[in-house]
Amino acid sequence: MNAPQDKAPLNEDRGGFDPPPPDRGFELYRHKKTEETRTKNWHGYYWARRNEVGDYEIRSVPASTGEPSMKGCIFPKEGFEKHYEQAHP
């Protein structure tokens, strides 16, 4: 079941998309098919950094200023790289 997607810009209160990384080593990634995904309020971005075995530790990217980045999970390398690519805001 697909929900309608809101088209409000991410970090609208900052005048653009320029989130600071939550910690050292994190880089910004975006889901490769974000525009095709019809999930309400989902921008498709995650912070990620490689761990000692090569998998990705992920954290959320807040939708607006003042929200904290939330710790996610460890995403296996193969699955992460299949669905996400490095983003350049």
- Tell me what pLDDT residue 29 has: 94
Query: For 1-51, what is each residue's pLDDT tens digit?
Result: 444 444 444 544 434 566 788 889 999 999 998 777 777 667 889 999 999
What pLDDT is attached to residue 86?
A: 93
Q: Which residue has the higher pLDDT, 57 or 12?
A: 57
3-state secondary structure of 59: strand
Enter the DSSP assignment of 54: S
Q: What's the whole-model pTM score?
A: 0.72
Confidence (pLDDT) at 1: 40
